[in-house]
Amino acid sequence: MTQAARSPGRGGPETEAAGPDVGPVRVRVAPSPTGPIHVGNMHTAFFNWLFARGRGGAFILRFEDTDLERSDPKFERLIFEEMRWLGLDWDEGPDIGGPYGPYRQSERLPLYEEYARRLVESGHVYPCYCTAEELEAERAEAQRAGVAYKYSGRCRRLGEAERERFETEDRVPALRFAVPGGRVVVIDDLIRGRIEYPTEAISDFIIVRPSGMPLYNFAVVVDDITMRVSHVIRGEGHIPNTPVQCLIYEALGERQPRFGHVGHILLPSREKMAKRAGNAYVGMYREEGFLPEALINFMALLGWTPADGREFLTLREILAEFSLERVTKAPSVFDPEKLTWMNANYIRRLDREELARRCLPFLKKAGLVAESLGEDPPDAAPDPPAGMVRSDFERVVWIVSLEQERIETLKDIVAATEFFFRRDIEPDEAALKMLREAGDILDEALQTYRNHEDWSPTSLEAAGRALVERLGLSGRKVFQPIRAAVTGRVASPPLFDTMAALGRDLCLERMARAVAFTASSSSSRPPPSGADGR
């Protein structure tokens, strides 16, 4: 559409969009609270925030909630929460107010009425009595003829008598903008450079429905004027709206903001990150255990690169280096695998206590530790949930640090460490197979460790090595069954660290149970192998 609508060299007067003088920097993001916030919207919010913060400007949050059916305060709260989670704050907004409020469109209806009246009085807008059916018929006709639909302009040319007839029929008019013909609207886009739109390509558009509700292109202009917005930075999907909005500014005789349109965000399959796609919601990343600093870093690199091309940047560093000049108009690719890789990197950089604090909500949600763990007093070991081992914060720090190198998301901590918290474990298939084949070895290991008191990793390892020596087997042959017995799986963090963190009682209990299990599944016990030197 953009390319098609560009038509350099067309004659006629040009409408120059905002010049350099747009006053103090005031930018905004205007999501609709009709669902959970989407990565694309958050990305736009983030770039606006960076632009405002980098220039000492104001960042405004307002809601486009004229879709009363679908707008919901619960989604407003989610938007607040998720912006805060990522570290984005705002200077004016529906929750904190500000000098140019209210900040919800549903509370601004008198303002739209006032501006619509101005446009009616100046003759830029006319009442349109066409019914939905009549418009549909026009549209179908255009389709049949294979041409792009454009309103016929029937009501623009209405005579006094016809207008009166419609009024007596009780038809309630919409308000339509009379688009001037033979003109080219020029947008000096901050990211994409010059964009030209011939007005011939723009249909007379509705600004207020018969119900009195303003439409997006009109309401957004009234909001941006009355909130003194200096720069409109948004996704490229809004490029076709921009000339329409420019015409409204012009008709009102108001100063236009500068526009900048950021490229689309695509999935690796090159599909647009559709609103309802599973990986489109910011909240999902929070619930899946992505760190806000990883998501912010990742989002910064969607359409922007720092001068030296490095990939890991803190929010502070991004802020120091961000400029619209380095934002590309090309689409950027949201690669979930790269985000996961980046997240794992960020997890590795956390100090152990911080990692534990971040993992706690996930462990609590999974019911592995007490709800009050880690709250005041921090060293308390509250009663554990049923079936769980008693843990204090220190124990959690120890356990999660054993998995720090392996987990990619905070949520991964649940599956990775469950066996540390559950009193009873269900060994998985691979562990069961290993246990069945190693009854004698486990018996020996149980004897060894029953007589062992010092439960530090080094001492546990010394005892384990002595056992290996005595049995004349490989370390692996001896240690894997022990691992299977105490963790219920065949892969875990280093065995002796794991045993130390599990504690003596739990290890002995699990080894004893494994021995009993191997004894009961006698048929599966293999004959001692000569090669093993027994």
CB of 20 to ligand GLU, least distance (A): 21
The H-assigned helical ranges of 60-195 are 73-85, 109-121, 132-145, 160-168
Residue with smaller CB distance to ligand GLU, 183 or 261? 261
Q: What letter would DSSP give residue 264?
A: P
Beta 332-333 vs 265-266: how paired, if at all? parallel
CB of 225 to ligand GLU, least distance (A): 13
CB of 222 to ligand GLU, least distance (A): 12
Q: Compose the 225-254 pattern: x for residues touching ligand GLU by CB under 6 A, - for all others.
A: ---------x---x----------------
| 217 makes contact with ligand GLU (CB under 6 A) | no
Q: In angstroms, rounded to a whole number, what is the distance separating the alpha carbons of residues 496 and 482?
A: 10
Selected range binding ligand GLU among 24-32, 133-141, 253-261, 374-382, rule: CB under 6 A: 24-32
Residue with smaller CB distance to ligand GLU, 31 or 173? 31
Q: What letter would DSSP give residue 197?
A: E
Selected range binding ligand GLU among 28-36, 126-134, 329-337, 384-392, rule: CB under 6 A: 28-36
Residue with smaller CB distance to ligand GLU, 25 or 446? 25
Query: Out of 5, 17, 26, 31, which residue is the one contacting ligand GLU (CB under 6 A)?
Result: 31
| 293 makes contact with ligand GLU (CB under 6 A) | no
Check if 275 is active-site. Answer: yes
Specify whether the CB–CB gap between 334 and 378 falls below 8 A.
no
First to last CA, the chain: 79
Residue with smaller CB distance to ligand GLU, 124 or 261? 261
Q: In angstroms, rounded to a whole number, what is the distance separating the alpha carbons of residues 367 and 369?
A: 6
Nearest to 227, CA basis, from 81, 416, 100, 409: 100
Selected range binding ligand GLU among 29-37, 298-306, 335-343, 361-369, rule: CB under 6 A: 29-37
For residue 360, the tally of other CB atoms under 10 A from its CB is: 21
| 76 makes contact with ligand GLU (CB under 6 A) | no
CB of 232 to ligand GLU, least distance (A): 6
Q: In angstroms, rounded to a whole number, what is the distance separating the alpha carbons of residues 410 and 509?
A: 29
Chain positions 36 to 65 lying near ligand GLU, rule: CB under 6 A, are 41, 64
Q: In angstroms, rounded to a whole number, what is the distance separating the alpha carbons of residues 212 and 206?
A: 11
Query: Out of 25, 39, 88, 220, which residue is the one contacting ligand GLU (CB under 6 A)?
Result: 220
Specify whether the CB–CB gap between 508 and 485 falls below 8 A.
no
Question: How is residue 509 written in tokens?
Answer: 């209990």
Residue with smaller CB distance to ligand GLU, 216 or 419? 216
User: How many residues sit close enough to ligand GLU to count as binding (CB under 6 A)?
Assistant: 8
Q: 152 phi and psi, to 5 degrees?
A: -65, -20
Selected range binding ligand GLU among 27-35, 330-338, 425-433, 523-531, rule: CB under 6 A: 27-35
Residue with smaller CB distance to ligand GLU, 79 or 368? 79
CB of 172 to ligand GLU, least distance (A): 26
Task: Supply the Cα-derived Rg of the chain in whole angstroms.
Answer: 33
Selected range binding ligand GLU among 25-33, 174-182, 338-346, 495-503, rule: CB under 6 A: 25-33
Residue with smaller CB distance to ligand GLU, 32 or 498? 32
| 32 makes contact with ligand GLU (CB under 6 A) | yes
Indicate the burial class of 23 (C-beta count within 10 angstroms; 0-12, 13-18, 19 or more).
Answer: exposed
Residue with smaller CB distance to ligand GLU, 229 or 435? 229
CB of 156 to ligand GLU, least distance (A): 27
Question: How is residue 381 written in tokens?
Answer: 């070991």
The H-assigned helical ranges of 407-488 are 412-421, 429-436, 439-450, 457-471, 475-487
Q: 257 phi and psi, to 5 degrees?
A: -75, 170
Nearest to 154, CA basis, from 172, 136, 133, 127: 127
Question: How is residue 416 written in tokens?
Answer: 């990775």
CB of 44 to ligand GLU, least distance (A): 7
CB of 282 to ligand GLU, least distance (A): 14
| 30 makes contact with ligand GLU (CB under 6 A) | yes
Q: Which of 275, 329, 433, 477 is catalytic?
A: 275
Preceding omega of 528 cis (within 30 degrees of 0): no
Number of residues that make up the chain: 534
Residue with smaller CB distance to ligand GLU, 30 or 179? 30
Q: In angstroms, rounded to a whole number, what is the distance separating the alpha carbons of residues 38 and 245?
A: 24
Indicate the burial class of 144 (C-beta count within 10 angstroms; 0-12, 13-18, 19 or more).
Answer: exposed
Q: In angstroms, rounded to a whole number, what is the distance separating the alpha carbons of residues 421 and 85?
A: 28
CB of 38 to ligand GLU, least distance (A): 9
Q: Which residues are catalytic?
A: 275
Residues that bind ligand GLU (CB under 6 A): 30-32, 41, 64, 220, 234, 238
